Amino acid sequence: MINATKSSPRSADDEVPAPAGASVPAPSSESLPAQAKASSGTAADNNAGRNTAAQNAVIEPAERAACIEYAIRDVVVPATELEAKGHRILKLNIGDPLAYPGLPTPEPMIEAYAAALRHQENGYSPSYGLPALRQAIAADEQNKANGGWSCREEDVYVTTGVTEGLQLLFSAFLHPGDKVLAPGPHYPPYMAYPQMFQGSTVEYRLDPDHGWRLDLEDVRAKMDEKVKLLVVINPNNPTGGIASRETLMELLEIVRQWPQCTIISDEIYDGLNYSDSHVSLASLSPDVPVITCNGVSKVYYAPGWRIGYLALHDPRGRLEKVRDALEKLLRSRLCASTPAQLGYLAGLTGPKDWMLEYRHRLLQQRDYCMERIAALDGMEVEEPGGSFYMFPRLTHPRWATDDKTFVLDLLHQEKVLLVHGSGFSQQYGTGFVRLVFLPQVDVLEQAFDGIERFLASS
């Protein structure tokens, strides 16, 4: 028989293990010594303070979003504040034809959109776009005025505006550290979006003294094995510059030396080429992959519908894996608006005589702006060959290097709203402003009267 060892008496400070599964009541404050009470209270207070601080802490945004700027809409904030105080703002800042009287979306397109709503054609559509719309886009690409290319329905992907298309492309193409070579100045998302996908944008120069043509030597100097996408905006936003057939052929020759590079050809303003000299870049390439971006926003005067497309010209089959990745991304975000696609289809397949009338008006307004700027002391401009923008240079000594202050002071003093050129490129846009010539001549006259007064008083 084993005798149990007699345990020694325990002091009050000895720890007595609780039986498994038993709960141990916390000692009451009355049973604690004064020092322990003080420590317990301090710890509770500290914990409460930490909890309160944590609950009130500001949540920091991701760096990729915090550093994004969009100059075109950023300047609207102070303008809106002035409007709230009762001021009328003459807006020459935004490239939205519907923001100005006299350039409505064509009625057949409106009716097709409305009919889709009435007939309950509001459901999800195929992720790559409605087949009929993809076929119509392919036919349009095949029959461009100065040379089309062998675009097929399966080469076309319908997106929620060109901006979504760009996000999809950067997501599909860019690995960490890759580069996008884009014109300077440029449409702001070409600078903002690549960083969201661990890439970066390098700007190549557009020549401000020769119609904003591409500086091909600068392109050549900035190409390397990390440049996966080279962007051409033709006609250009914000300058209205046009890339000629000869320039595009030379550009293809440069890119041909870098087989890892694909060209993005942003042709959203192709129908607003005032010399009818627009050339589809894809039509010139027998080997280099070219992705054309276009849509309903500008030439068809329906920017709020948010329908764009990507058309992949891949003559050597080098984009098969990228195409697969792009299709996965498209499926993951479901589809573009079904009724809006049907509205765009009506525009592509219907009569286009209305385009001549619209373009005639835009030319009159452009020419009026050119005349007024020529008479100004402190501003000069290259004539835009396309789009509905011009990009005047500030030659006044006070404003030549401070375009943003110029824009804000002009807004507050004369209630005329432009966009600062540095918002389109800090390097190549500083000292310029973007001016939209969509408003009717009487509005442009009032705006230029204000600009003239402002420059004279500076």
| Residue-wise DSSP of 160-182 | SHHHHHHHHHHHHHPPTT-EEEE
* Contact yes or no for 314/323 (Cβ under 8 A): yes
Whole-number Å distance between alpha carbons of 432 and 399: 9
| H or E element, residue 290 | strand 290-295
The tens digit of pLDDT for each residue in 310-364 reads 999 999 999 999 999 999 999 999 999 999 999 999 999 999 999 999 999 999 9
The pLDDT value given to residue 24? 45
Show me where the domains of the chain are located. Answer: 63-100+353-457, 107-349
The tens digit of pLDDT for each residue in 220-269 reads 999 999 999 999 999 999 999 999 999 999 999 999 999 999 999 999 99
From residue 39, give the alpha-carbon distance in Å to each of 14, 29, 152, 239: 20, 11, 77, 70
CATH code of domain 107-349: 3.40.640.10
pLDDT over 70, % of the chain: 88
Indicate the pLDDT class of residue 413, thresholds 50, 70 and 90. Answer: very high
The tens digit of pLDDT for each residue in 370-383 reads 999 999 999 999 99
| Residue-wise DSSP of 354-399 | HHHHHHHHHHHHHHHHHHHHHT-SSEE-PPPSBTTEE--EE-STTT
- Average of pLDDT values for 286-291? 98
- Average of pLDDT values for 421-445? 96
- pLDDT of residue 17 exceeding 60, the answer is no
Three-class secondary structure of residue 292 per DSSP: strand
CATH code of domain 63-100+353-457: 3.90.1150.10
Which value, to the nearest 10 degrees, does the dihedral of the CA atoms of residues 423, 429, 432, 434 take? -50
